[in-house]
Amino acid sequence: MEGYLREAKVTKTSGRTIYEITERGSERMGEVSRIVTEAAGRFQDMRRIFYDLVEPAALTATCLKAIMANSQILRELVESRPPKIDSRAIKALLEELRGTLRQEQAWVERDLSKARRR
């Protein structure tokens, strides 16, 4: 990690050293960010394979746990202080989420209606 950080100052009250990221460190963080973003995309593609491998008896609980975890991560992202994404992106994200949830709710209502008729 040498060359990624540099000492900025030592605080007098606590004696702690504060570091700042160097240009080389910023470049490396960009590389790591791209790698993680690509890996996240591949993970999304692999999810269906994971679900195929889950025991049928545990599939419902596994899916619900994933939905809850994703919802919690999204909430934490939107409510983070300081914000991790800008307010325009948050607004767009929430509007997209609202539309998706409405579509999913309509699907759930249709399937529940079918299930009740059976």
Task: Give this prediction's pTM.
Answer: 0.65
pLDDT bin (cut points 50, 70, 90) of residue 16 is confident
Domain locations in the chain as residue ranges: 1-53
d(CA 58, CA 1): 43
- Mean pLDDT over 47-52 rounds to 90
> How much is the mean pLDDT over the chain?
92
Q: What is the mean pLDDT of residues 58-66?
A: 94
What pLDDT, on the 0 to 100 scale, is given for residue 98? 97
- Distances from the Cα of 58 to the Cα of 51, 62, 79, 85, 112, angstroms: 10, 6, 31, 35, 21
